[in-house]
Structure 1
Amino acid sequence: MSKGHYIQTGEGDVVLMLHSSMSSKSQWKGLMTQLSSTHHVIAIDLLGYGNAPFPSQGEGYSLKSELAQIDQVLGELDILEETTVHVIGHSFGGATALRWAYEHPLKVKSLHLFEPVAFHLLEAPCEGLSQILGMIDGLYEDFKNGNKVRLCQAFIDYWSGQGAFDSFPPNVQQAMIAQVDKVILDFEALLKEPLSLNDYASFSFPISLIMGERSPISSQTISHKLKDTLRHLTFYQLDCGHMGPITHSDLVNEIWCNEVVKNSI
């Protein structure tokens, strides 16, 4: 049973929420409160985060591993195969949402993304790909040398800005450091994901995509690729960074609430 790996509230159309790396289902508490008066909202801990177990597959881990747990939770909640759901995803959760939508296109009522880090969509020559590969090489080197503190600092500062890691209190830093093993697996899964832009181009349901103006070039490039490829897509650009759903939740949540309500009519 997956009890404890998710939280749910409200009644109505189902809204599934997938968080970013180094986060958990608690990321969505504010948005859940806003939507729960009209929707059945479900926030899931992705593998290795929150209360969800660390992936057991080792080298066999992929985004499909996340899909299996998502489907297990929906099954336990009696979300029937013919029930359509709204899916919201941020960063790693956004990339997972794309993969889940590809596997279950008839179950998606609408899809709402904030900078999905689908690195497999980047092709050389590309500044965004060079930037992210350089960052990942540094993370792998730190991981191999057992320097998890520097690895975590580099990861947090890349997505949240220079000095972000140092700004957190020691207990939060330690909680982040404890998650770096899963972060490495996340990157590996994202880079080896086999789907292409053409695969996602087949989506026929409504999609919204939000991009931060101050985000890294890697995630911005992915957002532009999706914007130029996906049909039925509404694009938003906000004055924030990659962690906008947390740092600027009022702006982001307003868009997501409006989009979900609009597509529930």
Structure 2
Amino acid sequence: MALDTRQGQQVFWQEIGTGERPALAIHCTLGASSLWKPVLEPLGAQISATAFDQPNHGQSAEWDATGAEAGAFQALVTRIAASFIDRPVDLIGHSFGASVALRIAVGAPEAVRSLTLVEPVLFAAVDHAHPEWQTLRAKQDHLEQMIAEGDLEKAARAFMHDWGAGVPWEALPEHQRARFIQQMPMVGNISTANFEDPGRITREGGMEGIDAPVMIVHGDASPPIMPVVAEAIAARIADVGVACIPGAGHMIPVTHSAQLTELIAMNLERS
């Protein structure tokens, strides 16, 4: 475990496993690197995975969203993630972390040995005329309005209802609720990037240039947009598999870690 300065941010990171293959795992919004332990420890003889806490998450320092350009947080986390890569890695990301992983794979395909995307929230990959995109866009407008008006607790409740692990808001520890409320301006910056794609992950020829084996994982109890996103991304990648975990919602690393471990192992075998 270590805490050092990367891209001007105090970043906490840890190693999971002692295997010969280097891996990098990127967690979801409002998550932390610790969420990867039950998923990756069973693969510890095969991979040595680095997992870091994004700014304003876990044990890393806070990040102030005030005045930040749309997509600034995604760009920052992408640069931090890239700072851990010095040879081809098995790249694994969940939710927003999967969007960051995909951005790295599009920008530097030679740095990726295999790519596992768990519930990637790159909504920009979906045709904007799709009914599920339209429905989600309306929810996003409401979330952005609540954040802009400073109703951060209401925004946090709504966000966790749609994208959490199914734990009722009132059942969460008070300190955790307070942290989620504090993180809402950052969530707004992240959500904007998911829709608008300022990093141009979806640019023509981008995903098509990924030559590593890719596994996209979603749950059959996830928000309805997720299988649509998974298929939209998969349609543009040559070597790809899409897996749906029965009974799983968005927080697959927390609720279905064993099944996810098996799917990652399958993708490792293909590379």
Structure 1-normalised TM-score? 0.88
Please list the CA deviations of residues 128-182 of structure 1 after superposition, one character each: whole Å capped at 9, or x if unmatched.
2112211111111111221111100100111248773233232322222222121
Segments of 4+ in structure 1 off by > 6 A?
A: none
Q: Determine whether 1:195 maps to 2:201.
A: yes
Match among 215, 219, 236 for residue 212 of structure 1: 219
Which residues in structure 2 correspond to 1:43-192 (within 5 Å)? 43-53=51-61, 54=63, 58-59=68-69, 61=72, 63-72=74-83, 74=84, 79-80=85-86, 83-160=87-164, 164-192=168-196
Structure 2-normalised TM-score? 0.86
Please list the CA deviations of residues 241-264 of structure 1 after superposition, one character each: whole Å capped at 9, or x if unmatched.
11112111121122213322x145
Aligned length: 256
Query: Which position in structure 2 is the counterpart of 1:29?
Result: 37
Aligned counterparts of 1:19 and 1:230: Cα–Cα separation in 2? 23
Match among 19, 23, 27 for residue 15 of structure 1: 23
For structure 1, which segment, 21-30 or 170-179, has the greater mean C-alpha deviation from structure 2 after superposition?
A: 170-179
- Conserved in 1, the CA contact under 8 Å of 2:230 and 2:242? no
Aligned counterparts of 1:36 and 1:167: Cα–Cα separation in 2? 33
Aligned counterparts of 2:40 and 2:166: Cα–Cα separation in 1? 30
Q: Determine whether 1:235 maps to 2:245.
A: no
Q: Which amino acid aligns with 1:71?
A: A
Aligned counterparts of 2:167 and 2:59: Cα–Cα separation in 1? 28
Secondary structure of the corresponding residue to residue 266 of structure 2: helix
Root-mean-square deviation (Å): 2.1
Consecutive unaligned residues in structure 1, runs of 5 or more = none
Query: Which position in structure 1 is the counterpart of 2:259?
Result: 251
Aligned counterparts of 2:101 and 2:161: Cα–Cα separation in 1? 24
Aligned counterparts of 1:129 and 1:45: Cα–Cα separation in 2? 29
Distance 1:197 1:114, change over 3 A: farther
For structure 1, which segment, 34-43 or 197-206, has the greater mean C-alpha deviation from structure 2 after superposition?
A: 197-206
Residue 195 of structure 1 and its aligned partner are, at CA, apart by 3.0
Aligned counterparts of 2:26 and 2:167: Cα–Cα separation in 1? 26
Aligned counterparts of 1:161 and 1:84: Cα–Cα separation in 2? 32
- Conserved in 1, the CA contact under 8 Å of 2:116 and 2:214? yes
Consecutive unaligned residues in structure 2, runs of 5 or more = none
Aligned counterparts of 1:143 and 1:98: Cα–Cα separation in 2? 27
Q: Which amino acid aligns with 2:116?
A: H
- Conserved in 1, the CA contact under 8 Å of 2:208 and 2:236? yes
Residue 188 of structure 1 and its aligned partner are, at CA, apart by 1.6
